[in-house]
Chains A and B, each alone.
Chain A
């Protein structure tokens, strides 16, 4: 019998062991010594074999099952099917942390030109996919409803199955805009910065504008339906609402999924807000937020989740969960999704657009007229995997984790910093630590939330295997 290589880390007084296909279990230091010393007992080998960590012969079912699970952990990029469009950089708000340097509502020269629009449509027409997702970003995209309408009409004809998301501040919505949002294939994503005083401080500034936003958000949910509206909080790590304030504020609007995000470092926000050296404080806050959710869910009628924590939990439990562009491996850039800026420049992600805009490093990868700059993408993609990274190959969380070369570039100007010194690694290590702490706890409240987040009827201790 051969054991697939195991990686390990401390887990309370024991160790967590994990293999390259994402299988894991808990065992004590004596097992570690037997494993490292090549002195496994019969009970060890039986356990390792039945739980998928070992095989008898190359090509047997245990071996092939492992190979399949390993492959499921890899993101296989598909054809381009997700396009983020920035029809205008103009905005009717001036949020302190704006990531992309919006420009004032009346400034000219920051919208698509007629030619740009024509090129966007040509670009969409060249996509080789039956189903597509188109996201309108800005600026405030609803300032150019005419462009949105043209794109939507064209895309509906072009694709068999297409949906649209309008990322709007919901500040000032015309009757025509509401009518546009009524369509069943069109969704709204907005910002709600945790609780209303933070929202006002960071976004709306005046109580009049805050009131206007709240009333528009309520109207949007009522008119369009709860399922068509989502909201994301952006949080200032130096001025954080309490977890319960956020849970209550979101709950008040009927939101049951909250995607917590600290103010982004990539854009201009870094000039006004501290976005470096905050890892520990953010990680601690995120952990306390999860604890607050667990407490909330124990008695709540409907469970609430932190979107990213749920995503990471599912990536721990199973393979094939590769749909989120923030966390996957390899994270091939410029393949299945792309950003088209107001001036027709192409970017591999919205963060790359921000990094470029602050003038730090040019991460644009071509434009609508000359096409995608494949040579540049190839350079970026060469390192867009954690599979061979010397720090990652020893990490028990590797199979569930991903990589973000754009984040590394924006923070450190290079991608060869030791992983454990990067914000990306620290944030994810903290999340995975927390997940295993909860999986292996005997807290019924934690189990109830874990089950809801994992999408299973009830928690079962077999999801936290222990070898004794």
Chain B
């Protein structure tokens, strides 16, 4: 791969909270490269050790060259893993050593066009799996790396090569792969076994208990039927599955039926994540027709949650600010919004729930959002 000024790995805008891209000085590389920043010791050929620091940057020794990274002087970069792209003056911060929220966005291509997509698909793909493999081997101890897209399994052969290699090189790390589940085949059982069934949590969305509605939400005919088949493959192999359902106006009425579907058809899943909508990408575009204000109406969720947990399905609420959830359901709502894209509102003030609340997405718009927020 040569210079490719078109490489764009993160469509999400940078936020003022935590930078996922860091401005860097010129580096003489001719292909995308992985480097781990260290303040003291060097343990790998990919390590660059800190040699200088001033009020606006830290400089690392990268195989004899100087890599200058612009950042706040307080920023602790030790152990962070960067992806450097030739000709670009910003580096992708693939792994932050002090964060639980590390994501590799492996492709932006997708076969579905979900109404709530936060990361709308792009036509072109750049294969960086070799770089991701190196990055994974440099991850902090016991890290869990999220693999996201686009649809990662569109590049299944390469993805599985990456997972097998990374899992073998680093027995301590695990993966959370976000996939629409459309491309599993019975033959994948061998590879899933080789990676290690307990090493990957497959995060797979299901939006409705019947084909017509699910297919319309993901804008792909036949998606529900394919997914049903592929769930059986995952059940047979004993894969760990996190089922993900975004609450929408479109599926609000059928959520209790979905709970029955999950408890009878998908009893093998590890966890069912019922999620609030993220106001970005198609989610922002379709906000008015899709956002369900669960702070004002929680009724269908009550039935859904009680049936599912009653029948033994571990069920959690993701991306729900705690004050929007009735008291007796709050223990089911962990703070799930990644550290680099969450925020609190001015009205949150000194709210008592703040330390356990996940807050809001950085791009949450209060005037179109929850009507029932209340400081506790």
Give residues in A with beta carbon < 8 Å to B.
Answer: 23, 50-52, 59-62, 64-66, 68-69, 72, 317-321, 451, 454-460, 462-463
Contacts and interface: CB of A to CB of B under 8 A. Distances in A.
B235 A460 contact: no
B264 A69 contact: yes
B371 interface: no
**Cβ-closest 7 pairs across A and B:** A52-B264, A318-B312, A460-B306, A65-B265, A457-B328, A462-B307, A61-B228
Given A62-B264, A65-B266, 11 more contacts: A60-B228, A61-B229, A62-B265, A64-B265, A65-B267, A68-B235, A319-B312, A320-B312, A457-B309, A458-B306, A460-B307
A408 B256 CA distance: 43
B306 A50 contact: no
22 contacts: A50-B264, A51-B260, A52-B260, A52-B264, A52-B265, A60-B228, A61-B232, A62-B265, A65-B264, A65-B266, A69-B264, A72-B267, A317-B310, A318-B311, A319-B312, A320-B312, A457-B305, A457-B306, A457-B329, A457-B332, A462-B306, A463-B310
A451 B306 CA distance: 9
Contact of A321 (B265, B266, B306, B312): B312
B268 interface: yes
A50 B235 contact: no
B307 A463 contact: yes
Contacts of B259: 462
B303 interface: yes
Given A61-B231, A68-B235, A460-B302, A455 B309 contact: yes
Nearest to A455: B309
Interface in B226-279: 228-229, 231-232, 235, 256-257, 259-261, 263-268
Interface residues of B, number: 29
Contacts, number: 80
Contacts of A318: 310-312
A51 B312 CA distance: 15
Most chain B beta carbons < 10 A, residue from A68, A72, A463 = A68
Point out which of A23, A66, A456, A463 has the most chain B C-beta atoms below 10 A from its C-beta.
Answer: A456
Contacts of B309: 454-457
Nearest to A460: B306
B312 A61 contact: no
A118 to B, nearest CB: 36
A318 B315 CA distance: 14
Contacts of A50: 257, 260-261, 264
Contacts of A460: 302-303, 306-307, 310
Given A68-B235, A317-B310, A320-B312, A61 B328 contact: no
